[in-house]
Structure 1
Amino acid sequence: MSKENKQKNFKFNPWWIYGVVGIIFLGMYLSDQSRWSVPQKTTISKFYQFLDSSQVEKVVVYNKNSAEVFLKPAALKSKTHNKIEPTDVLGNPNIGPHYTLEIGNDEIFQNKLDEAQKANKLASYDYKTSGDWTDILTSFLPIIILVGFWIFMMRRMSGGGAGGGGGQIFSIGKSKAKLFDEKNDVKTTFKDVAGLEGAKEEIQEIVEFLKNPQKYTNLGGKIPKGALLVGPPGTGKTLLAKAVAGEAQVPFFSLSGSDFVEMFVGVGASRVRDLFKQAKEKSPAIIFIDEIDAVGRARGKNNFSGSNDERENTLNQLLTEMDGFGTDTSVIVLAATNRADVLDKALMRAGRFDRQIYVDLPDVRERKEIFEVHLAPLKKVEGLDTDFLAKQTPGFSGADIANVCNEAALIAARNNKEAVDKQDFLDAVDRIVGGLEKKNKIITPEEKKAIAIHEAGHATVSWMLEHAAPLIKVTIVPRGQSLGAAWYLPEERQIVRPNQMLDEMCATMGGRAAEKVIFDNISTGALSDLEKVTKQARAMVTVYGLNDKLGNITYYDSSGQTDYNFSKPYSEETARTIDQEISILIEAQYQRAIMILQENKDKLNQLADILIEKEVIFKDDLETIFGKRPFDKVSHEEIV
């Protein structure tokens, strides 16, 4: 590092001044050895005896009313002074003062000292005025050190100077929001946000309102109070807020919902007041609260918290600041959460969050755009097909795609490649979805055959069903917690029909059905399959109203209120009916899978043998055995 860079990185800390001053005072205090001795009190008559017997070395008189007596080293050894310690608290020789006394008549005392000095019974004496500045400072040094340590600890507990003066004493109620303005430039813009066209359009309108309010107010429009970004994790809600901070030419305050939470009562509400006070002073301004569910959870849902809960006080203050008396200011509140169902209804109403922008998982076209953004900094092979990568990652969020690109680069580097190619991305998808390969896992031949039959059963049933997801590859190499896996490319549907759900359930039960057909026995390897089909069947019966016996009824509550109730929204008789219908659905698809596999038992065994030999088979191997799949559609091969 050059000298110029070191100078730029050097930051002066005012605490260094306090440290230097403290060290100086401490040195002055320690250098005065007389402070480490403990003198004894004596009377004026005894002092005259010591003086007449030539035992006194030096006398220091303070303000003509008290004196300190320093004895000669030889006198210290006599029994008369056995109460005087020969050493001080540090183990050094006790140089005095050894005695202190009160002076009655200072004139007589002065004459006695003069006579003793003339008779060579006293080496010297001196007059001093106690209370000079050095004595005062050194005597108060321990108190100064304790006060300084207490101040330092209070600064550390209150945030260390972060967030608008939060480091000062008693300023724990100050807001911890980070301010972005022309001094703190954010380089993220809307161009860096791939996909999310609808969300960007609404967010851009808010930014445009702040930049050019007359365009809207001339027609009688009002500035929106707030916008809530809702969506699954990793879809780009915080990235959109960063883009707003980069695009808006107004102050932008950013903080997390947990920044309001503190162990001290009243701190959260105080921080909300301070945050809006700062924003109003710099208005027009934008406040961004990430993960607002930390402070905006619905009141009264937690049965174990009292009415004077600290979080509720913070929420009440936030509600008042967003839309209460005297809040007609140009301050817009942006917030992000992936748990909108737990937010308080008063927070969600129009007038506080006027707009609720749903940031959904990207579709295949948006995934292509996201891939192009994250592929830009990578060294990749020429002609890399981003359309193919987008189709291979259904259900992936923007954060997942970023992880895929990074993992592909790491895999390419691990294999000593100079550029990232298509296979690296496929391996990265497998690594993220399935987990790390465990080729050294000890598996017996019988277990390996059972795994091969299980996975071949999935592949066979899905190949024979119209609405099952098209197969990509099957492997019996253990990954993560699974002993084998079948990889599919599901069709991206907006609505799902019962026959499509039933085909998917049947394909999922194909693994256990294959074990039953081949071995006439089943194993515990179908646990994840059973969990999946049970959830699907329960959703068909209780959520989507797709069961004929129960009819067009749902027990799903989008508000999330039923999660906090101890009772079910249906009777015990209905609960038994639900359990029966779920079991009937699953068993029907299990028997259906067994029938399909019995009809194709030879092909199932042939596929399992190839799988045992190669450990990994692809779609081409299935076409060789079963022939071309008649249900494949063109829409699977092209981007819509």
Structure 2
Amino acid sequence: MAKDKNTSPKKPKFSSWWIYGLIAILLLGFQFFGSNSFANTKKTTTSELQEYLRNGDISKILIITNTRQAKVFLTDEALQKDVHKDVAEKPLIPSTGIVPQYVLDYGDLQNFENDIKKLKQENNLETIVDYDTESNLFMEMLLGILPFILIIGIWIYLMRRMSGGAGGGAGGQIFNIGKSKAKLFDEKTDTRTSFKDVAGLEGAKEEVEEIVEFLRNPDKYTSLGGKIPKGALLVGPPGTGKTLLAKAVAGEAKVPFFSLSGSDFVEMFVGVGASRVRDLFKQAKDKSPAIIFIDEIDAIGRARGKNNFTGSNDERENTLNQLLTEMDGFGTNTNVIVLAATNRADVLDKALMRAGRFDRQIYVDLPDIRERKEIFEVHLRPIKTAETLDLDFLSRQTPGFSGADIANVCNEAALIAARKEKKAVTKQDFLDAVDRIVGGLEKKNKIITPGEKKTIAYHEAGHATVSWMLEHAAPLVKVTIVPRGQSLGAAWYLPEERLIVRPEQMLDEMCATMGGRAAEKVMFNKISTGALSDLEKVTKQARAMVTVYGLNDEIGNVTYYDSSGQNDYGFSKPYSEETAQKIDEEISKMIEEQYKRAIDLLNNNKDKLTELAERLLEKEVIFKDDLEKIFGKRPFDSGAGEEIAEKEPAKEEEKSE
């Protein structure tokens, strides 16, 4: 019965160590079999030799002059004596030549000859004395070529190390440096990721699922005259799940999946990038239908001819040209689909983005509140929680978080719970993790004088008061004066997730941001450097309103923003000096108006501001319900700013926050 192909024993792979082992065996064999190792030759002394001579046992003495050694051959009668029975026995392996029975290392040749001559005369012996020289041709040849062998061996070793080592895959050896470094995904051995592991991203998942379906069942689409797309480009901010989506495609597709990074094409040698592109597509075409995934494609796909003062990017441009040709040129194979991911789509070459190469640009945006809930469900599976967590609550507390940020929140919560010797992760641990990621590490041991602490308390209370009084300002969550990261205090808000923003909403946010400096002015009639981050924020907002969104009456409906990133302004501004002066005036005017507005609000509520600051000095951390006790219910509150934790003793709040 014939054996199954899968059960047939695999042939051992050839290894260079086999050659080394064979050479070593040959060396040992020459040394071992070329000597008298298996002969019954014994070493003797001068006195024993003289005694054997007197007894007439020796037929011949062969003196080797270059090794100072004498070989002694016995007569046939002497071999019958008991004294020589050890050397009379036949050797295990017969020798090809005449083997001496004894060998002797002599000292001075003249004295040795005189002693033998004297004994021959005294005993009237016919012993033959002969002379000879010996040479080991094999050892001499070996010593002659050994230096060359060492030099060649060292050179091969250095070349292998310089080219990435012997085990570096297809590009690991100097002669294979032009080979592709793509990793072929193996669904049997590699960790398999499916579309179920990708939470949210419904639109993007639908697009890539269709690509997988193209390769599984192409007749479904080609029967109507359609063509399988050449490529799909995943674009979006960092951490939104572009690479994870590609991993899911690798896990779901039943076709070969080649994965590599854009930087894998880059090498110090000229022409290597283009060679690797050719080799990659050749491998993919041989295994077609197949998928190629290039992560961070902007490493080789940047626009050509931009700021090329030195010609240093010629190699990268050659690589890009080869990629363009392979994706849509003569003789391209439509059964190879290219997936690519980048967060810098604005710098990619226009030829790469055209239809026929990347037919689809799939934008992977930051998750909304519903998608964040799904992402939490995925990342909470391995987390041991002490209670049933309200995922809607957690998703509301993490606006603007990417999928990677949410994974980090879950991990940080587990670490915080372990640090506190807890057996399970609680809701408060997740909230502490959000604070840790947003604000930084808590620094309760930072030395702050009472005067500085009072200033910080009024500054943060000013933010809280102004935001509470303004309709469009983000709802407050909590305020703290515990130093965290680089900040001395912080106010946490829960911003509304808007798709469009109106001028009054941006102005209210700017006013709330200026509330901290305004509180210092109202209470102490002095200002400090503590408002640096606030000033930076409002300046950016005001400049965006004037120069980007066209929300200023004086400048008008004009924008100086180029979303494509392909502007040709260079070192010059896209507006005149007169317009630049007007822009600066409008930005300053807008900020100062909101600053005066914040001062007026705080002057009208000075007693409540003072009460809030005193409570903040006492407790260090206050929540939304503390503000409700002082200011009353917020009339335009939509309920989005839900409390982040149930009320606990003040001491516990200080410890946890």
Give yes or no for TM over 0.5. yes
TM-aligned CA deviation for residue 285 of structure 1: 0.3
In structure 1, how many angstroms separate the alpha carbons of the residues matched to 2:17 and 2:436? 51
Which of 343, 360, 384 is 1:338 aligned to?
343
Map 1:104-123 onto structure 2 (within 5 A). none
The farther-off stretch of 557-566 and 188-197 is 557-566
The answer for the alignment partner of 2:270 in structure 1 is: 265
The farther-off stretch of 468-477 and 150-159 is 150-159
Tell whether the 8 Å contact from 2:285 to 2:333 is kept in structure 1 after alignment.
Answer: no
The answer for the alignment partner of 2:48 in structure 1 is: none
In structure 1, how many angstroms separate the alpha carbons of the residues matched to 2:401 and 2:615? 31
In structure 1, how many angstroms separate the alpha carbons of the residues matched to 2:595 and 2:405? 33
1:285/1:305 CA distance change after superposition, 3 Å: farther
| Cα shift readout 1:458-478 (whole Å, capped 9, x = no counterpart) | 000000000100000000000
RMSD of aligned alpha carbons? 2.9
1:119/1:402 CA distance change after superposition, 3 Å: farther
In structure 1, how many angstroms separate the alpha carbons of the residues matched to 2:627 and 2:483? 21
Tell whether the 8 Å contact from 1:461 to 1:597 is kept in structure 2 after alignment.
Answer: yes
In structure 1, how many angstroms separate the alpha carbons of the residues matched to 2:384 and 2:195? 24
The farther-off stretch of 573-582 and 174-183 is 174-183
Which of 233, 236, 258 is 1:231 aligned to?
236
In structure 1, how many angstroms separate the alpha carbons of the residues matched to 2:126 and 2:527? 118
1:506/1:124 CA distance change after superposition, 3 Å: farther
1:552/1:169 CA distance change after superposition, 3 Å: same
In structure 2, how many angstroms separate the alpha carbons of the residues matched to 1:25 and 1:440? 74
Correspondence 1:428 to 2:433:
yes
In structure 2, how many angstroms separate the alpha carbons of the residues matched to 1:380 and 1:434? 24
Letter in 1 for 2:202: E
TM-aligned CA deviation for residue 392 of structure 1: 0.3
The answer for the alignment partner of 1:314 in structure 2 is: 319
Tell whether the 8 Å contact from 1:163 to 1:175 is kept in structure 2 after alignment.
Answer: no
TM-aligned CA deviation for residue 250 of structure 1: 0.3
Map 1:282-301 onto structure 2 (within 5 A). 282-301=287-306
Aligned length: 553
1:205/1:390 CA distance change after superposition, 3 Å: same
The answer for the alignment partner of 1:240 in structure 2 is: 245
Which of 337, 347, 369 is 2:352 aligned to?
347
1:73/1:119 CA distance change after superposition, 3 Å: farther
Correspondence 1:179 to 2:171:
no
Map 1:73-152 onto structure 2 (within 5 A). 124-126=131-133, 130=137, 132=138, 135-152=140-157
The answer for the alignment partner of 1:168 in structure 2 is: 173
In structure 2, how many angstroms separate the alpha carbons of the residues matched to 1:448 and 1:13? 74
The answer for the alignment partner of 1:206 in structure 2 is: 211
Which of 595, 618, 636 is 1:631 aligned to?
636
Identity score, percent: 77
Letter in 1 for 2:236: G
Which of 379, 383, 386 is 2:384 aligned to?
379
The answer for the alignment partner of 2:494 in structure 1 is: 489
Which of 406, 413, 418 is 2:423 aligned to?
418
The answer for the alignment partner of 1:394 in structure 2 is: 399
TM-score normalised by length of structure 1:
0.81
In structure 1, how many angstroms separate the alpha carbons of the residues matched to 2:212 and 2:564? 31
Q: Secondary structure at the match of 2:267?
A: coil
Which of 435, 438, 445 is 2:450 aligned to?
445
The farther-off stretch of 260-269 and 299-308 is 299-308
Q: Secondary structure at the match of 1:418?
A: coil
Letter in 1 for 2:553: D
In structure 1, how many angstroms separate the alpha carbons of the residues matched to 2:597 and 2:18? 82
Correspondence 1:532 to 2:547:
no
The answer for the alignment partner of 2:282 in structure 1 is: 277
| Cα shift readout 1:286-328 (whole Å, capped 9, x = no counterpart) | 0000000111011112333418711111111111111111113
Which of 534, 544, 552 is 1:547 aligned to?
552
Tell whether the 8 Å contact from 1:22 to 1:145 is kept in structure 2 after alignment.
Answer: no
Map 1:596-615 onto structure 2 (within 5 A). 596-615=601-620
In structure 1, how many angstroms separate the alpha carbons of the residues matched to 2:480 and 2:158? 58
In structure 2, how many angstroms separate the alpha carbons of the residues matched to 1:402 and 1:209? 32
Q: Secondary structure at the match of 2:444?
A: coil
In structure 2, how many angstroms separate the alpha carbons of the residues matched to 1:135 and 1:165? 41
Letter in 1 for 2:226: G
1:141/1:156 CA distance change after superposition, 3 Å: same
| Cα shift readout 1:383-421 (whole Å, capped 9, x = no counterpart) | 211111000000000000000000000000011111101
Q: Secondary structure at the match of 1:629?
A: coil
1:308/1:461 CA distance change after superposition, 3 Å: closer
Tell whether the 8 Å contact from 1:166 to 1:174 is kept in structure 2 after alignment.
Answer: yes
In structure 1, how many angstroms separate the alpha carbons of the residues matched to 2:136 and 2:66? 20
Ranges in structure 2 where 5+ consecutive residues have no aligned partner: 1-11, 33-62, 70-104, 111-124, 644-657
Tell whether the 8 Å contact from 2:159 to 2:174 is kept in structure 1 after alignment.
Answer: yes
TM-aligned CA deviation for residue 571 of structure 1: 1.1
In structure 2, how many angstroms separate the alpha carbons of the residues matched to 1:220 and 1:163? 44
In structure 2, how many angstroms separate the alpha carbons of the residues matched to 1:457 and 1:119? 128
TM-aligned CA deviation for residue 152 of structure 1: 2.8
The farther-off stretch of 426-435 and 14-23 is 14-23
Letter in 2 for 1:469: A
Map 1:44-63 onto structure 2 (within 5 A). 57-58=66-67
Tell whether the 8 Å contact from 1:225 to 1:351 is kept in structure 2 after alignment.
Answer: yes
In structure 1, how many angstroms separate the alpha carbons of the residues matched to 2:517 and 2:24? 77
TM-aligned CA deviation for residue 155 of structure 1: 2.6
TM-aligned CA deviation for residue 174 of structure 1: 0.7
